[in-house]
Structure 1
Amino acid sequence: MFGLPESTYFGKLIPKNKFYEKLSVDNKLERSFIDQINSIRWGHKLSSDTLNVEKGNTVKEIEVFFIKLKTSELDVNVLRQMDKELHYHLIFILEYEERYQLWTGYKEESTNTAFKVGNYYHTGWVTEEDFSLQIDGLNMDTVYENLVRQIAGDTLSNEKSESLKESVERQNEREKLEKEIEKLRAKVRKEKQFNRQVELNKQLKTLIKKLEE
């Protein structure tokens, strides 16, 4: 499915209550698991053994989870909880009415035993025929980077000289600037004093120029 090799197939159903029972999960998140998810299946294990590539320095395995939904929307904190509990790099394939979204959270190592999960990236809703994951790379680190870029699409820049970490940091900075610009535009609209409007517009032009660069 989605171009993943048969050698990586795992196909184990995971009870969804595994991710919220006996854990410090608030009631809202528990309800998200109960109300939004039908089933969770651990679909594939991507590793140096199942893909016949070299091991990575950071990425040991990439686990692919199929999440069958009751609704077309899923609380992203559900994915964060799964990422928190499973110390692997994860890809999520959400299914609703025979259409799919692929999601992944950029994970980087923060300690020897844990990962820091940053932004989540996802495709639009697609059919299985519309989208195929290409396994590309000589080791698990590069396989992971290429999978994240495929799922993120145009959201992440794809400069050949730029690492995935650099692309993620650049996108984070872009999103931060966009939020600052929107806040400043709102201030300009509300400001009554002409001199203050001029000063705010000057700041706005500086931020827009920085964003364009």
Structure 2
Amino acid sequence: MIEFPSATSVGRRLPKEAFYKHLPLTKPLKDKFVSDVERIVVENSLTKDNLNLNDDAEINEILLLSITLKKQEFDGKVVEAIARQNPHKLVFLLIYENSCQLALYHSKLYRTPWMNSEAIILKPQGFSLDEIWNSFIEQIALYAEQAENTATLTVEERLALQEQIQKLEKLIQKTEAAAWKEQQPKKRFALYTQLREYKTQLEELKHGQAKDAHA
């Protein structure tokens, strides 16, 4: 459930043409915008006034846009293009039939897994729009956070740690596949040695102390 105060409700549908005609999209991406997106609605506008927040924030407004899709497997670059060209901070509720996912752009596009609409949870947490935006990053970009002992880390440090973990997991999968296929004993041994090192590093990142994020 998306729990935003009623004072933030907008519910204004935006014509697709208003987006793709003014966005610097390539022809293929513009075609995907037309073919993948059914409609776009500004669901909520979060400001310091309608949330009764303090003034100490760089962010002036956060918008929640719902995007109804024609197909579940869409090009994320469409959403990324909207976010990068908009002066406001944007949170996206992507909808396909009875499934939903949340997304936001913060240096790159982050998305939660697809889930039933009743399972979607998003709450504005904080005393300024900056804090609320950070809470949205935590709820979306760090939805499946694997690392432990992150209480003393900033959101940016936690994102960097998550990135390290994901890269190591890919390296482990790639090395396991290579070791399985390798026929020469010496090369296979070297691959398994490297694999053990990767797995040790992964365990340290997941279960080590917060200082590991700075390594």
TM-score scaled by length of structure 2: 0.83
After superposition, residues 130-145 of structure 1 pair within 5 angstroms as 130-145=119-134
Q: Which runs of 5+ in 2 are unaligned?
A: 205-215
- The reply on whether 1:191 has 2:182 as its aligned counterpart is yes
The match for 2:95 is 95
The match for 2:116 is 126
Number of residue equivalences:
202
Match of 1:153 among 122, 131, 143: 143
Tell me if structure 1 keeps the 8 A contact 2:43–2:66: yes
Separation in structure 2 between the aligned mates of residue 38 and residue 206 of structure 1, nearest angstrom: 47
1:120 Cα shift?
A: 0.8
Amino acid in the other structure paired with 2:5: P
Amino acid in the other structure paired with 1:137: G
Percent of pairs with identical residues:
28
Amino acid in the other structure paired with 1:209: T
After superposition, residues 1-213 of structure 1 pair within 5 angstroms as 2-55=2-55, 57-105=57-105, 107=106, 117-127=107-117, 129-151=118-140, 152-155=142-145, 157=147, 159-213=150-204
Q: Which runs of 5+ in 1 are unaligned?
A: 108-116
TM-score scaled by length of structure 1: 0.84
Between 158-167 and 18-27, report the one with greater CA deviation.
Answer: 18-27
Between 142-151 and 61-70, report the one with greater CA deviation.
Answer: 142-151
Separation in structure 2 between the aligned mates of residue 198 and residue 145 of structure 1, nearest angstrom: 45
CA deviation profile, 1:111-135 (whole Å, cap 9, x unmatched):
xxxxxx22413143222x4334222
Name the Cα RMSD after superposition: 2.1
Tell me if structure 2 keeps the 8 A contact 1:177–1:207: yes
Q: Normalized per residue, which structure has more strand? A: 1
